Structure 1
Amino acid sequence: MNTQTRRLSYFFSGQNFTDGVRITVAILLPAVLLTQLGHFEQGLTMATGALCLSVTDTPGPAAHRRNGMLAALVLVFGTALLTGAVASNAWLLGLEIAGLSFLLTMLLVWGARAGAVGTAALLNAVLVLAHPPTPGQLLPHAALLLAGGLCYVALALLVYQVRPYRPAQQALGECVHALARFLELKAKFYQPETVLKDDYRQLVAQQVVVNEKQEAARDFLFRTRQIVNESTSQGRRLVLTFVETVDLYERVSAGHYDYAAVRDTFGPTGILPAFAALIRHVATELDHLGVAIQANHPYSGVGPKLSAEWELLQARISALDDDPATAANTRVLKKILVNLRDIIRRVGNIRRYFDESQPAVPTPSRAVDHAQFVAHQEIQLHALSQNFTMKSAVFRHALRMTLACTVAFVVGENLGRGQHNYWILMTVSIMLKPGFSLTRQRNTERIVGTLVGGVLGAFVLWLLPWPDVRFGVLVVFMVVAYSFQRTVYLVTVVFLTAYLLILFSFLGLSYLGVAEERILDTLMGCAIAFAAGYFLFPRWESDQLTDYMATALRANLVYLRQLADRLAGRPLPPNEYRLLRKNVYVSGANLAAAFQRMLTEPKSKQYRPTETYEFVVLNHILSSNIASLTGTLREAAPAVPAFAPESRRALTSALAALQKSLLLIAPAAEVPALELAPAEPEVSAVLTDDKSLLEQLTFLQKVSGDIGKVTDVLVK
């Protein structure tokens, strides 16, 4: 299976395509059935209710999705009644739009899913303005919206009941796919022709993706009672395979070296491309595993070929030992080779997912205390009142949304040029995001996508005059649009605009007039959203980067402390170590994501991007090397290397440098104790290379010092 075939397999077996098909069916089914019975308008209203509910149906545990959709049902019904009741009075309608914009946006204080519920209700209020019901139609109209929403909820829950493990398989497959891409990028460091700076930038960006996929899979697996609590082979294999992928990610991240020195020393030998090839082949094997898990297909694997390739590489390194020019330096290649052997072994462990003969009884050390690995978000009313302050990002965004929607409503009411002026308000409510970087990106994609989609829709209508064929194209466009709404928004806008033009042609409207009106309304709505994001209470990423830096520093400081404890003979319990490791990876990914967002903001709002990038990379290098040394010590247990005075000094110096950097960035931060405890009496020297241990600790000291130098520049 080549790369393009794997990508197609990932797409068609993934959660996004599944959701796209389900949303399309839920929207079209009531509309088509009622149209056949001669009630087209009622069917369209039910389809609108299903569309609004789909906004809240984001990936996650079934219970959370169900609760979110039920809350959205209540709000959709309520906003329909309220909007219909005041629709005849422009002043009351304007006040209602302003009030709903603020209150529904404030739901973000309870998390992304609650925010999606608010977005669904606000979208419904705007769509009611398309054809405001008369007083006599108000209750039936709201009831039809409710019925459409209920149909969507019933379909979503039915799909889950029929295939309860399918979403977990999809989440796990996407997690493995992201990790395979991360490993593939690591191969570039062994290609002498690539630029290391660009390699690091791509690797850090992929680190963000890996963290997002792992958090999504962790949230689904560890919050789903059926998977965690029930003693089934399927649930056990899902959980244990996910744990293996996280352990594998640690080993891949731990394989960090001084690549510039490695290239200078071994570039002329021609052995580095062989390392890159083996790493790519391991990544390909991992990617095949991800496809098989996600598609729920059996997989035979090519493990023996990887082992044979590894042995050939080992033989080439042995040959270098006979060369006086490289013999003294091959130790780093041997370390890389040992790490690759461990990675290949762990990829083999992931293959066990396809062994259905595994016992259903969970392994205690790996199947307990899952709750501590997921964040808990409780609905507490006092959280709402606590955010009524300009220091709250949600409150500032709610004010921004209120003012922008009010302006959009006033502009739409005073244009008086078309029956779809509500598109301006709808565009603002969808385009305006809490961060300016995402608002600008979405605005650009919305404008370009609307223009391209308008041309595509007009071309289809001009080329295909047959209604049945047009309807078939409409269905395909809907599936594509809803399949990409969480990944490639530009694709969603293109096909959404095209299918809306086809839909309006069935209503007897001129598609050229509709296309012109939609493009103009989109341009006005995007302009309002962009201006609001830039001028109204903006909070630039550079203002928040120090918080992310402090969190990452503290996580690495605690991570380094556990390394010191291991050297002193006091290892952590496995779950406690995994929790520390998770905090390090999450904080590092959050920092990298914030840095990427900052780069998309106006240059005048960016603060020292070069030094910030250096901080992000050094933070990644530090955590990778701590993980590498920790893994070495875990494998050496129960014996550990002797904690020599030179090693103690290097580790103390590294801790002191990180502590100083943390206090510079966040003076009020709590930091772990700096003084190292004496080694436990039973600690004995293991037969390892003590010089190698000292070199690794010295490197940690150097990286920590470099972080301190960059921090000095950043806080000036």
Structure 2
Amino acid sequence: MNTHSRRLRYFLSGQNFSDGVRTTVAILLPALLLAQWGHFDLGLTVSTGAVCVSVTDTPGPAAHRRNGMLAALAVVVLTALLTSLAATSVWLLGLEIGVLSFLCTMFLVWGARAGAVGTAGLLNVVLLLAHPPALREVLPHVGLLALGGLWYAGLAMVAYQVLPYRPAQQALGECIHALARFLELKAKFYSPETALDEDYRELVAQQVVVNEKQEAARDFLFRTRQIVNETTSTGRRLVLTFVETVDLYERITAGYYDYGTVRATFGKSGVLPDIAALIRHIATELDHLGVAIQTSRRYAGPSPDLSQEWGRLQARISALDADGEGHTRVLKKILVNLRDIIRRVGNIRRYFDESLAATDAPAPSRAAEHARFVAHQEIERQAFSQNLTLKSSVFRHSVRMTLACLAAFVLAESLWHGQHNYWILMTVTIMLKPGFSLTRQRNQERIIGTLVGGALGGVILWALPWTEARFGVLVVFMVLAYSFQRTVYLATVIFLTAYLLIMFSFLGFNYIGVAEERITDTLMGCAIAFSAGYFLFPNWESEQLTDYMAAALRANLAYLRQLANRLAGRPLPPNEYRLLRKDVYVSGANLAAAFQRMLTEPKSKQYRPTETHEFVVLNHILSSNIAALTATLREAAPAVPPFAAESRRALTSALAALQKSLARMAPATAAPAPEVGLGTAEADAADDKTLLEQLSFLQKVSTDISKISEVLVEQKQSQLVAPSAAEA
């Protein structure tokens, strides 16, 4: 199975495609059934309710999805009543749009799923503007919307009851797929033809994806009672396999070396391509395992002989010593790391060993223990009032959304009188995001996707005069549009625009006129959303970068302290270590994601991108080397390597440099460095040269981070002082 076929299988067996099929069925079926009885308009209303509730059905534990859909159903009913009553007066309608756009956007204070509930309410308001019901039809109309919402929620929950482990397997498969891609990118570092800066940029970008997939899998696995109670072999295997993937990710990230020196020293020996080939073969095997888990099928493929390939590589490296090609200690370290990675990939393969179900005794519930690894979002009423300040990014975004929606409504009512002028307001509600970078990206994709989708829909209608063929294409486009809505928004817009044109052709509209109107409305809505994101309380990523840097420093500092404690002979409970490791991964991924978003903003708003990129890379190198040293100590336990005075000085200096950097980045929150007793019992012991080299490298990286942080903070302060001086 080649790369393209694996990606296709990942897509067809993934959560997004499953959701796309379910959403398509939930929307099409009511309209088709009622159309058979001559009530197509009623079927569209039921389908509208299903569309609105589907917005909140994002991946996650079944209980959270159910609660989100029920909350969306209540909001849809309420907004339908208010909009139907306000539609009697354009002034009341404008007032209602302003109030609801603010309140629904403020739902974000309770998290992303609550924000999706608010989006569902706004979407319902916009869709009602197309044909608001007469007063005597309000209650029946609202009842049909509620029926559509219940129909979608019921369909989603039945699917979960029939296949309770399917979403967890899909989340775990996607997690392994992202990890395989991360490992594949590591192979590029052994190719002299690639630029190291670009390699790091790709690796850090993939780190964001891996963290996102791990958090999604962790959230689902550790919040689902049926799984964390481990009452079934499937639940136990899911949890154990996920834990193994996290440990594997640590081992992969721990494999950091001075790649510039490695290339210069061994580039002519010909051994580096062999190392890269072995890494790619391991990544391919891991990818195959992810596909098999996600499709819920046994991995039937033969186990690749990675151990023999590793043995041949070992012999090749040993021959370099015999030929006098130079010191190969770094290559031997790479070999050890690859051997451990191969072993852990083999452990993941044990997921398919059914004998584990028979031999493993029922495990006690560990739900409380697992709950420590997931973030908890409590619905607190006071959170709403506490965010009613311009210091709150959610409040600023809500005000921005309110003004943009009002501008779109006024424009649609006064300047544009097409049959679908509500598309202007819909575009604004979908395009305007809390951060300008995402707003800009979505606007570009919306415009390009609308143009391409309009052309695609026109070609389909011109080339396929047969009704059955058009309907088949419509269904396929609907499935694709709803499958890509959380991953590739450009594809969603293309297929959504095309299927809407086909649908309007069934309703008797001139598709050319509909396409022109949709393009015009989209351009107007995108212009309003872009202007609001740029001029109304803009949220620039550069303003948040210092906080992300401080969080990354804080996590790495705690990570380094646990290493110091281990070297001093004080063990750390496994779960405490995993929590520290999780904080390092999450904070590093958040920093990398913020940096990527900043690069999409106007250059005048970017904050020293070169130095910031260097900080991101150094932060990754630091955590990778701490992980490598920690893994070495765990393998050497219970013995502790000799810890001489020079090694202690290097570690103390590294801790001090990180603490100094944190104090610069976040002086108000940086706590005094706790005492880390490194002991003196081994002061006269012969120093472990390897340990000293590793700790000296940690000291160097920490010092480099300190220098970069000093430059970044000084520049930031000078930018803050300049406006104050100008005002004075």
TM-score normalised by the chain length of structure 1? 0.98
| Residue 564 to residue 366, structure 1, CA distance change in 2 (3 Å) | farther
Identify which of 694, 706, 709 aligns with 1:708.
706
- Which ranges in structure 2 are unaligned for 5 or more consecutive residues? 715-728
The answer (yes or no) to whether the contact 2:548–2:591 under 8 Å persists in 1 is yes
Q: Which residue of 2 aligns with 1:697?
A: 695
Q: Which residue of 2 aligns with 1:2?
A: 2
Distance 1:528 1:293 in 2: 45
Q: Which residue of 1 aligns with 2:636?
A: 636
Task: Show CA shifts across 1:578-608 (max 9, x none).
Answer: 0000000000000000000000000000010
Q: Which residue of 2 aligns with 1:332?
A: 330
* In the alignment, structure 1 residue 467 sits paired with structure 2 residue 447: no
**Residue 462 of structure 1: how far off its partner (Å):** 1.2
Task: Show CA shifts across 1:650-697 (max 9, x none).
Answer: 00000000000000111112346353314397x8999x9810000000
Distance 1:249 1:218 in 2: 14
Q: Which residue of 2 aligns with 1:624?
A: 624
Task: Show CA shifts across 1:173-210 (max 9, x none).
Answer: 00000000000000000011111000000000000000
Q: Which residue of 2 aligns with 1:242?
A: 242
Q: Which residue of 2 aligns with 1:431?
A: 431
Q: Which residue of 2 aligns with 1:568?
A: 568
* In the alignment, structure 1 residue 315 sits paired with structure 2 residue 315: yes
* In the alignment, structure 1 residue 554 sits paired with structure 2 residue 554: yes
Q: Which residue of 1 aligns with 2:724?
A: none
**Residue 300 of structure 1: how far off its partner (Å):** 4.1
**Residue 506 of structure 1: how far off its partner (Å):** 1.1
Local SS of the residue matching 2:275: helix
What pairs up with 1:299-378 in 2 under 5 angstroms? 299-300=299-300, 302-303=302-303, 305-326=305-326, 329-359=327-357, 361=361, 369-378=369-378
* In the alignment, structure 1 residue 277 sits paired with structure 2 residue 277: yes
Structure 2 counterpart of 1:715, one-letter code: V
The answer (yes or no) to whether the contact 1:45–1:145 under 8 Å persists in 2 is yes
Q: Which residue of 2 aligns with 1:529?
A: 529
RMSD of aligned Cα (Å)? 1.5
**Residue 301 of structure 1: how far off its partner (Å):** 5.0
Structure 1 counterpart of 2:299, one-letter code: Y
Structure 1 counterpart of 2:173, one-letter code: G
Distance 1:453 1:689 in 2: 67
Task: Show CA shifts across 1:65-87 (max 9, x none).
Answer: 00000000000011011101110
What pairs up with 1:144-293 in 2 under 5 angstroms? 144-293=144-293
Distance 2:373 2:459 in 1: 51
Distance 1:361 1:591 in 2: 42
Distance 2:367 2:311 in 1: 35
**Residue 468 of structure 1: how far off its partner (Å):** 1.6
**Residue 415 of structure 1: how far off its partner (Å):** 2.3
Distance 1:658 1:670 in 2: 11
Distance 2:302 2:370 in 1: 32
**Residue 365 of structure 1: how far off its partner (Å):** 11
Task: Show CA shifts across 1:213-272 (max 9, x none).
Answer: 000000000000010114100000000000000000000000000000000000010100
**Residue 303 of structure 1: how far off its partner (Å):** 4.2
Structure 2 counterpart of 1:28, one-letter code: L
Q: Which residue of 1 aligns with 2:137?
A: 137
Distance 1:701 1:343 in 2: 27
What pairs up with 1:484-523 in 2 under 5 angstroms? 484-523=484-523
Distance 1:215 1:240 in 2: 16
Deviates more, 1:103-112 or 1:293-302: 293-302
Task: Show CA shifts across 1:72-125 (max 9, x none).
Answer: 000001101110111020000000000000000000000000000000010001
**Residue 304 of structure 1: how far off its partner (Å):** 5.1
* In the alignment, structure 1 residue 128 sits paired with structure 2 residue 128: yes
| Residue 217 to residue 187, structure 1, CA distance change in 2 (3 Å) | same
Local SS of the residue matching 2:4: helix
Local SS of the residue matching 1:137: helix
Distance 2:597 2:206 in 1: 14
- Which ranges in structure 1 are unaligned for 5 or more consecutive residues? none
The answer (yes or no) to whether the contact 1:501–1:514 under 8 Å persists in 2 is yes
Distance 2:353 2:147 in 1: 44
The percentage of counterpart residues that share the same residue type is: 77
What pairs up with 1:543-622 in 2 under 5 angstroms? 543-622=543-622
Distance 2:46 2:154 in 1: 14
The answer (yes or no) to whether the contact 2:645–2:683 under 8 Å persists in 1 is no
Q: Which residue of 1 aligns with 2:720?
A: none
The answer (yes or no) to whether the contact 1:545–1:595 under 8 Å persists in 2 is yes
Distance 1:214 1:583 in 2: 12
**Residue 323 of structure 1: how far off its partner (Å):** 2.2
Distance 1:245 1:337 in 2: 20
Q: Which residue of 2 aligns with 1:405?
A: 405
Q: Which residue of 2 aligns with 1:448?
A: 448
Distance 1:405 1:358 in 2: 57
| Residue 300 to residue 416, structure 1, CA distance change in 2 (3 Å) | closer
**Residue 363 of structure 1: how far off its partner (Å):** 5.8
**Residue 367 of structure 1: how far off its partner (Å):** 7.3
Distance 1:490 1:345 in 2: 40
The answer (yes or no) to whether the contact 2:180–2:283 under 8 Å persists in 1 is yes
Structure 2 counterpart of 1:513, one-letter code: G
The answer (yes or no) to whether the contact 2:230–2:365 under 8 Å persists in 1 is no
Distance 2:219 2:589 in 1: 17
Q: Which residue of 2 aligns with 1:417?
A: 417
The answer (yes or no) to whether the contact 1:655–1:674 under 8 Å persists in 2 is no
Q: Which residue of 2 aligns with 1:61?
A: 61
Distance 2:367 2:668 in 1: 37
Local SS of the residue matching 1:269: coil
Distance 1:367 1:210 in 2: 24
The answer (yes or no) to whether the contact 1:559–1:626 under 8 Å persists in 2 is yes
Task: Show CA shifts across 1:140-197 (max 9, x none).
Answer: 1111011011100010000000000000000000000000000000000001111100
Structure 2 counterpart of 1:335, one-letter code: K
**Residue 416 of structure 1: how far off its partner (Å):** 4.3
The answer (yes or no) to whether the contact 2:431–2:526 under 8 Å persists in 1 is yes
The answer (yes or no) to whether the contact 1:285–1:301 under 8 Å persists in 2 is no
Local SS of the residue matching 1:537: coil
Distance 2:55 2:416 in 1: 30
TM-score normalised by the chain length of structure 2? 0.96
Distance 2:537 2:387 in 1: 15
Distance 1:689 1:488 in 2: 53
Local SS of the residue matching 1:554: helix
Local SS of the residue matching 1:420: coil
Structure 1 counterpart of 2:117, one-letter code: V
Distance 1:671 1:685 in 2: 33
Structure 1 counterpart of 2:606, one-letter code: Q
| Residue 220 to residue 361, structure 1, CA distance change in 2 (3 Å) | farther
Distance 2:363 2:318 in 1: 40
| Residue 189 to residue 364, structure 1, CA distance change in 2 (3 Å) | farther
The answer (yes or no) to whether the contact 1:449–1:490 under 8 Å persists in 2 is yes
**Residue 294 of structure 1: how far off its partner (Å):** 0.3
Structure 1 counterpart of 2:418, one-letter code: G
Distance 1:366 1:352 in 2: 21
Structure 2 counterpart of 1:146, one-letter code: A
Task: Show CA shifts across 1:489-510 (max 9, x none).
Answer: 0000001001001111111111
The answer (yes or no) to whether the contact 1:640–1:684 under 8 Å persists in 2 is no
Q: Which residue of 1 aligns with 2:723?
A: none
Distance 1:81 1:304 in 2: 62
Distance 1:602 1:416 in 2: 31
